[in-house]
Chains A and B, each alone.
Chain A
Amino acid sequence: MEKQILICCGTGCRANGSMKVVEALNEAAREQGADARVIADVKTTGCNGFCENGPIVKILPDNLVYYKVKPADAKEIIEKTVQSGEEIPRLMYKDDTGTRVRSQEENPFYAHQHKVALRHIGRIDPENIEDYLKEGGYEALKRAVSMTSDEIITEVEKSGLRGRGGAGFPAGRKWRTAASYEHFPKYVACNGDEGDPGAFMDRSILEGDPHCVIEGLAIAAVAVGAEEGFFYIRDEYDLAVKHIKKAIQDAEERGIIGESVMGSSHRLKLSVVRGGGAFVCGESTALMASIEGRVGEPRAKYIRSVQRGLWNQPTVLNNVETLANIPVIIQEGGDAFARIGTKNSSGTKVFALVGKVKRTGLVEVPMGTTLRHLIYDIGGGILNNRAFKAVQTGGPSGGCIPESMLDLEVDFDSLAEYGAMMGSGGMIVMDDRSCMVEVARYYTNFLCEESCGKCTPCREGLRRTLEILTDICEGRGREGDIELLERLGHAMQDASLCSLGKTAANPVLTTIQYFREEYEAHIREKRCPAGVCKELTRFAIQPEKCIGCDMCARGCPAYAISGGKKEVHTIDQTKCIACGSCREACKFDAVVTLGRNDVAERGQQA
């Protein structure tokens, strides 16, 4: 008998030490040697999405999943679970009721998910093409080369698939336009320049299922008549680059791509271009400039890149997640795909649910799932049971959505109505200890650094916005600042060249729209309600709540807290740097947040 041990080796689990677990499991299996009744087949897989609880180890066919596995657990796993099928409860996931669950299906994080784009990840070894072939890989490409261009594109059109990178442009229409030009050579490209901070679905797919993206891009190439394709991948994603390169090589060696695509008359050469670390290169025309070996600045799109893209030739550019859906559409038909999700946004979407939620990670759900379901049922609610304040969606160009809108069904169009956007699927949850003015300042600072500087509204508008926001955060806010920010924001929306500039004011405008009172508290009362803006915040310990556990003092980097064991602790305000680590450390909520001018009134120590 043989059992499979699947170990998650995505970037997240690797950071948690999964490679050492692989070694230990292999070692333990070898020690069993000839005595083993069960042969353990140890295999590394891509990211399971539940990175916070990694390293994740799955045992098949038992369908038993272990979390936070350490190398020291390896021997026990081999002896008990693999040899005798026995459970090790301490490594199993504890659900909301405190019950230990066996399988992924019983885990609340996975139970509500619907996997299409992530279908193979966590089951196959991304570096082994055999694994992908066993799952029916490249069957869709085989079918595609026997279809006409029109048949392939019709299937994609029927599916209603829209671009997962953020803009939501229908993929089928893009392909149809590219196919209609008789202007050769044509190119296809995959946008893997996942620049939005807080999103990592593309990284996960490229790392965990590289062949599936190659298959999607190859089908695009066959459909539009392109013979060369590029993967543009972020410089930071080492593992993704490694896996895609290996996958391209393996696919070429097997004659899947190369001189003949699956034995047909189509030819296809694929290569990888590493991004240079510029956010703006996620924009289509900037990305193409970068592939051509130039500075990645966007151009005005009077003529779309689908007509004149790379080297002025027709070019189809699709996002990683979009391409990962293509093989499914070809295999199961566009109609079947269109039945998932909402009317105008078909299929599923992968979200990176991160920030202050209990269960963070990658989740794939049908379009139209509510924010509440995502955050509370899948995410398990807010970390430490604190109060929900906002969820930021759509990356730096997205917006912040308040609690009143939690029942909104998320798809391409619904969020846009409220000034936010679904974007590439980053979903950052914030609690009452997140300052919305500071969040707006953070995004503006990000965009200010990343603005390519070509057009004035974006370049100058962002700088001035950042100055005003910094002033507000540091206690120099003035009456009229909010109105000025709004005027600046609208000017940027109207006058910027590319969509990075047009949407750059979204973080500021949505936070003003939904959290105006927080701006006012900063400006008028010189107080940061969340206790984040250092110049406006003082911390103090409430004597009646302090039990003298000393946890706050131990973590204080400025050594500003004094007090013996079991005695009430006090904060020396002259030493305090307002970093807030005492507030995080205190399990009794004894640390209170005060405004800049509040300290004296409360009679706290000087």
Chain B
Amino acid sequence: MVEFLEVSIESIDQIIHSYECSQRYALAIMQDMQRTYQYVPREGMEALAQYLDCPVSALYAMATFYKALSLVPKGEHIIKCCDGTACHIRGASTLIDGVKRELGIEPGETTEDGFFSFETVNCLGSCALAPVLVVDDVYYGKVTLEKLKEIIADVRKGGAA
């Protein structure tokens, strides 16, 4: 499993300084922060603004525009339910309702214990396996409601161990 770092000035600086000082790397740097911390922390954006000599608002505009970036921390495990057209036609809505029932959260939310985040995505490019569910980086194809329960139970077990 991926380990997420605590937000610290040192780790932020490390990410920022692995890139040349140019606006063109702003998105890549924030994506690295997202991968490291599961979100883009305010401290990170402020440090980056200073490094690139640009207003924080420009970075904030990007962080809210791009779906890959999030301003709030996400859960330990991320369940992504594909709602691309192929999955939608093959019953993704039923699956999304199923995840809502199982976890008690809406898409975009995180469970109170911080264990699961639930997102819907617009196509993972695995349309031939529709409907598709991705937990962290593992793909599950042709998911049914029954299979969904098993998958969630497995993650819970694996996470507790």
Contacts and interface: CB of A to CB of B under 8 A. Distances in A.
Contacts of A290: 27
A200 B126 contact: yes
A105 to B, nearest CB: 20
Contacts of A450: 122
B90 A355 contact: yes
Given A235-B68, A360-B127, A276 B121 contact: no
A15 B132 contact: yes
A210 to B, nearest CB: 15
Contact of B65 (A194, A295, A354, A360): A295
B65 A236 contact: no
A200 B125 contact: yes
Given A198-B127, A355-B86, A434-B89, A295 B61 contact: yes
B86 A428 contact: yes
A275 interface: yes
Contacts of B84: 197-198
Contacts of A434: 89
Given A292-B24, A428-B85, A198 B128 contact: no
Q: Which of A50, A352, A577 has the most CB of B within 10 A?
A: A352
A356 B85 CA distance: 11
A293 B49 CA distance: 13
A201 B62 CA distance: 28
A205 to B, nearest CB: 11
A169 interface: no
Given A15-B141, A278-B65, A557-B101, A355 B24 contact: no
B82 to A, nearest CB: 8
B10 interface: no
Nearest to A453: B65
A277 B123 contact: no
Q: What's the interface size class on A, roughly?
A: 35 or more
B6 interface: no
Given A277-B67, A295-B62, A236 B125 contact: yes
Interface stretch (B71-79, B91-99, B109-117, B150-158): B91-99
A442 B128 contact: no
B22 interface: yes
Contacts of B68: 235, 274-277
A276 B33 CA distance: 13
Contacts of A360: 86, 127-128, 130
Interface in A223-242: 234-238
Contacts of B98: 557
Interface string A406-439: 0000000000000000000010101000100001
Contacts of B144: 555
A438 to B, nearest CB: 9
Given A236-B124, A276-B66, A354 B88 contact: no
A426 B27 contact: no
B27 A197 contact: no
Contacts of B127: 198-200, 352, 354, 360
Contacts of A354: 85-86, 127-128, 130
Contacts of B146: 555
Interface stretch (A155-163, A212-220, A537-545, A579-587): A579-587
Contacts of B145: 555, 557, 581
B140 interface: yes
A102 interface: no
- Among all A-B residue pairs, the 5 with the closest Cβ atoms: A276-B66, A197-B84, A15-B139, A277-B67, A197-B123
Interface of A: 11-12, 14-16, 50-52, 194-200, 203-204, 234-238, 273-279, 290-296, 352, 354-356, 360-362, 392, 396, 426, 428, 430, 434, 439, 442-443, 446, 450, 452, 555, 557, 577, 579-581, 584
Interface of B: 22-28, 31, 58, 61-62, 65-69, 83-86, 88-91, 94, 97-98, 101, 121-130, 132, 137, 139-141, 144-146
